[in-house]
Each structure stands twice: as structure tokens, then as C-alpha cells.
Amino acid sequence: MKTQYYTATTIDGYIADDHNSLDWLFEVAGGDEHPFGEFFAEIGAFAMGSTTYEWILDHENALVHPENWLEPYGDTPAWIFTHRELPGIPGANLHFASGDVATVHKEMVAAAGGKNVWLVGGGELVGSFADAGLLDELILGVAPVTLGSGAPLLPRRLSSQRLTLTDVTRLGQFANLRYSVGPPTS
């Protein structure tokens, strides 16, 4: 079982632009070549921050069309980290959480039943898991785009002592990089 951060990023390290838009990602040729189905088949639970969740609500119209959530994610339990009241998607297995990621991570691992835990984003949430020593792997699809600013991939320093490159592949215009993540150093 691994806790994985699987996301697309720009060459300059952003996962969304200044307006939380992913339009840059959908403009890249070859984006549909990513083996998301294979990846998600190994996921038993996942988590995201409120900005990511709200993007899905808005762009997938998931409150009116819950099938837009249920089709890719089924009944896989999802934790939404937020300090606000957010609407739930009808039929989705959602858990709203705040506070210490270690406590929630234990719940996620138990719910995953031996499968992997996916950290969808954003970067600050994933950084909290990394700070707590609860991030095992980075899987990055690097797109041939620069934004200059926006939501950073991981807004903290992880030294090369914590990161080990384990795989590099090409899928269309994307360079896919995998890194194992070691524990925090003191």
C-alpha cells in the first residue's frame, strides 16, 4: 500500500493557473493517453482539498449530474479537506474532514483495504501529508506548458535526500516521472 500524489503539472511546477483553471492541461495533445483507469484500479481511497472539489463541482456539474463523479470514481471513498460547509454529491462516498492529516490518513488506509491511497491535490494538502511522513510516491505528468504563476505543485521544499527517481516514461507530449518519497529529515 502506498500513498501517492498523482497529478499533471506544467514545466514550471504549477497544477492550476491563477484562476484555478486547468484549461492549459486540456489543450495539450496526447492527454487522453494517460492510463488513469489502470492507476485508479489500484486506489482504495482518495483525498482532495476544497479547491479541487469545487472545481469538480463546477466543471463537471456534479451536483446536477452525479454520474460525472460516479463514473470515474464509483463508490471509492473520498475525503474532502475543508474548513467550510460544502455540498455533497448525491450517491458519492464522501467524507468531509479538517485538521490533522495523520488522523484522517489512518481512516483512509483502513477504508482502502490494502489498496493505495491517492492524494489528488492541491499542493498544500499534499505538502501536509509529506510533512507528516505520509507520502510515499510522486507520479507527475509534466506537460509542455509554462504558466509563470498559479497553484504550485508542492509549495514546500523536499530535498533530493527524500526523493528518488524510479521511472521515466513518455506519453504523447507528457513526460511522466515517478519518485519514491522518503521520510522527513530532522
Per-residue pLDDT, averaged over 34-52, amounts to 92
119-164 pLDDT tens trace: 999 999 999 999 999 999 999 999 999 999 999 999 999 999 999 9
Domains of the chain by start residue, with CATH = 46-110+123-137 (3.40.430.10)
DSSP letter at 183 equals P
Answer whether 0.85 is exceeded by the pTM: yes
Q: Is 89 exposed, middle or buried (0-12, 13-18, 19+ CB in 10 A)?
A: buried
- pLDDT at residue 37, as a whole number: 86
Report the amino acid identity of residue 169: T
Measured from the Cβ of residue 58, the count of other Cβ atoms closer than 10 Å reads 11
